[in-house]
Structure 1
Amino acid sequence: MMDSSRRRKNNYISLVLLLCLIILLLAGCWDRTEVNDLAIILATGVDVSKKEAIELSVQVFIPKPAEGGQQEGVSSGTNSSQTLVRSAEGVTIADAMSRLQEKLTRRIFWGQNEVLVIGEKLAKRGIEDQIDFWMRHSEPRERADVFVSMDSAKEVLESMPELERDSAKQLRKLVDSQIGVKVTVKDLSEMLSGEAGAAVIPWVAKLSPSNLGVNKGKNIPFIQGAAVLRGDKMVGWLSDKETRGILWPRNEMKSGIITIRTNGETGYVSLNLLRSNNQLMPKIMNGKWSIRVKTDADLEVIQNTSNLSLLHSKSLKEVERKVVQEIEDREKLALSKTQEKLNADIFGFAEAFQRKYPRIWRRKSSEWKEIFPKVDITFETKVNIIRTGLENEEARKGGEEK
């Protein structure tokens, strides 16, 4: 009986000692950082300064108490900007970052940074060092969206959008619309280190002045096409139409409106893209390299101002034929510029050949810059209009008097 009591007592003491040890190992709040002690970065811009140094600009969030009944993104009649922009120069982006910290009373916090804007001058000089820093540093987000700007990156951060809270949110909303290309820092790093060594990045065009309210006269950012990089240097840019053409081979065309006009018709038919699937079919035969771009797309008619009745199979086939032609024309437009003029494989052709012909690719990969401009490209496009909508044929023909 005594042994049993002693064992229970020893077990109890052991349990107490174990709990004390666990308490000592628990993390406390001794190293906490208050939000009020942080400079929260929303966007970053990198430029070449007048002294040919690296100029780092950051868009810092300014916390403000919410006004009663005021919703985010709705102007109250006064300048409701909640950001400020600060810059510093250095011989490297890391050096500029340390100098930037000297200008801010709060510790820089990169965890909310979702936008990286690179000035055109720096993009043409080369961005390898900047992307390398971004991937190495533990704080900046690899999922931040990347842009190249015609104006300086600092000017883009300082711009005032009309509907969104700041330029960072404006740019994110634009690329999330899936109308153009969307590239993160991680995507860019993978493209530059890939077999092709080329990349495409959304292009922020010349800033345009706003005409609305308190922002009147202030610049607003918008995206117009894409910048093309070969190696880590910008070699050209694509227009909006050319950019939409590269989305099909890259299998990134998720939404969009296609408007066509058939032969002999004065009106137009507009169709909304519902789904698309794209494949690259590479082939090497007798030393000749070729690739087939295979596209399957489902669309719906959203407007018909022509006299065509899409209830008739002949008219429907004619519209599908014109849509196929429109898609392939867009692809050819983008391909002709990137293949013949820029010699930049931004479509993933190199990876497609490497996957199908690994042995040949190991021997020929160093010659890709000479091979790519000569690759024969063909198209196999299949379009299916699955919804034509209701239509009033009498109204389309002008109706009849009764």
Structure 2
Amino acid sequence: MGLVILILLQSVLLTGCWDSKEVEKLAVVTIVGIDYARKNGRDMWTVSARTMSPKPKGKGEEQSAGTVDQDILMVGKGLTQQEAILDYSAHTSRTPFYGHISAYLIGEEAAREKMSDIIENVMRFWQTRPKHLIVITKGEALQVLEAGAAVEKTLFTEIKDLAEYKAEATGYSYGTIMSEFTAWLLSPDKDAVATLVSVVPSNLPGSDKQNLMQGLAVFRLDKLVGWLNREETRGYLLIAQKISRGQMSIPVEKDGKLFSYFLGSSTSKIEPLITGDNISYHVTIEAKGEIDDNAGIELGAEDIKGVEAAISNKLQDLAMMAVGKAKKLDSDFLGFSAQLHRHDPTTWESFGPDWRKSFRNAGVEIMVDAKVLRTGKIGKKLDIQQ
């Protein structure tokens, strides 16, 4: 009798996935674009999505596998974000599935006016993952989704690969993920940045547009307030991030000649200095890299110190560009106030809501120690006989 009861209980508990949906009935959403505008005194949202529709294999192919159609663009409009999503969902017989999203693209106006609303709406959704990318675009997000991919087969693969590796490795941008961006928005002592992507004319055959991931979007509280260009972005990476992902090519001038310093890694430290009512910051940056093209610069053992000094000065200039833009935008996305908060909470708390004042009015000194680890297969420049 006990065995019968146990079997009956198991049959009740193991009811199967009664609410599951077959994969062939899903529209797998890979990237979402969100735009906002104020029209006739009312909020108007445009939500666009790139989707992929799985389908069964044909005859003679493995039954357990599946193929995927090329990604399709869907667009919806509504007075709320959810209404816009339901609008495009109504135009497909498949059920949208959001578990494989690579990025959320936010249009410029939406990022300026409604970023906190967007993030809260996304974070509440059960299929949202911490590693979804947050990408901002100048203009409308829909323009990026309409342009599609220029190099890869799908837009989500192109955006994901650019943000997760290529942008940071080259120093063009930085791949901001959902968990990181949300933490910055909620932070009491640091402002946020997000990846910036733009649609530009293409120099590739067979394509008139391509995506360029270059620069960063800068926030103050939850509002987009400005942009960093490529040089300022590299300064941000030197101060606020640990560089370790590639060969970032930095053009350096010495003795009237340009050469490339391939920055492979860097670390930084921000130290608040408090003297009475005065606050200043001392930043130390250690960089390591190599030189593969030198435009005739001597690279013998006795010449390296002079080359390293020129590189250090160049990296210092890039870092100061980022500091200058942060002060101009009144956005402490570099983390100076966060370090003051950790170092001296009492002083930081004395600023109250205007905690950015400690950075805005402070002097900043940056010291860079750049090392050249390799100079290629030869040391001295080639002495070509005339």
**Structure 1 contact 261–269 (Cα < 8 Å) conserved:** yes
Alignment CA distance shift 1:388-1:66 (3 Å): farther
When the two chains are superposed, the root-mean-square deviation of aligned CA atoms in Å is 2.4
**Structure 1 contact 167–221 (Cα < 8 Å) conserved:** no
Residues 1:258 and 2:250 are matched in the alignment:
yes
Alignment CA distance shift 1:103-1:210 (3 Å): farther
> Which residue is 2:346 aligned to?
359
**Structure 1 contact 49–89 (Cα < 8 Å) conserved:** no
Distance in 1 separating the partners of 2:139 and 2:155: 14
Residues 1:369 and 2:356 are matched in the alignment:
yes
Aligned with residue 107 of structure 1, among 64, 76, 95: 95
Residues 1:398 and 2:384 are matched in the alignment:
yes
Distance in 1 separating the partners of 2:211 and 2:88: 24
**Structure 2 contact 301–379 (Cα < 8 Å) conserved:** no
Alignment CA distance shift 1:302-1:65 (3 Å): farther
Distance in 2 separating the partners of 1:123 and 1:18: 56
The one-character-per-residue Cα deviations of 1:44-102 (angstroms, maximum 9, x if unpaired) are: 011125744111111111346899xxxxxxxxxxxx98111112222221232233322
Distance in 2 separating the partners of 1:24 and 1:109: 28
The one-character-per-residue Cα deviations of 1:143-179 (angstroms, maximum 9, x if unpaired) are: 2111111231111112132321222221211112223
> Which residue is 1:349 aligned to?
336
- Amino acid across the alignment from 2:341: Q
**Structure 2 contact 103–133 (Cα < 8 Å) conserved:** yes
Alignment CA distance shift 1:62-1:23 (3 Å): closer
Distance in 1 separating the partners of 2:320 and 2:372: 23
Distance in 1 separating the partners of 2:341 and 2:251: 37
> Which residue is 2:83 aligned to?
95
Alignment CA distance shift 1:297-1:129 (3 Å): same
Shift of 1:210: 5.8
> Which residue is 1:269 aligned to?
259
> Which residue is 1:62 aligned to?
53
> Which residue is 2:70 aligned to?
82
Say which SS state the counterpart of residue 298 (structure 1) adopts.
strand
Aligned with residue 151 of structure 1, among 139, 147, 156: 139
Distance in 1 separating the partners of 2:285 and 2:190: 25
Aligned with residue 279 of structure 1, among 262, 269, 276: 269
Distance in 1 separating the partners of 2:57 and 2:373: 48
**Structure 1 contact 270–302 (Cα < 8 Å) conserved:** yes
Q: Which has the higher strand share?
A: 2
> Which residue is 1:311 aligned to?
300
Residues 1:241 and 2:234 are matched in the alignment:
no
Distance in 2 separating the partners of 1:106 and 1:351: 47
Q: Give 1 or 2 for the bigger CA radius of gyration.
A: 1
Unaligned runs of 5+ in 1: 1-12, 68-79
Distance in 2 separating the partners of 1:343 and 1:285: 23
Distance in 1 separating the partners of 2:354 and 2:179: 26
Distance in 2 separating the partners of 1:114 and 1:358: 38
> Which residue is 1:77 aligned to?
none
Aligned positions, number:
367
- Amino acid across the alignment from 1:56: V
Identity %: 26
> Which residue is 1:192 aligned to?
185
Distance in 1 separating the partners of 2:98 and 2:229: 32
Distance in 2 separating the partners of 1:100 and 1:225: 31
Say which SS state the counterpart of residue 53 (structure 1) adopts.
strand
Distance in 1 separating the partners of 2:96 and 2:44: 21
Shift of 1:390: 2.4
- Amino acid across the alignment from 2:196: W
Distance in 2 separating the partners of 1:392 and 1:354: 47
Distance in 1 separating the partners of 2:53 and 2:379: 56
Residues 1:122 and 2:122 are matched in the alignment:
no
Shift of 1:372: 2.4
Distance in 2 separating the partners of 1:244 and 1:81: 38
Distance in 2 separating the partners of 1:125 and 1:23: 53
Shift of 1:253: 2.7
Shift of 1:185: 1.9
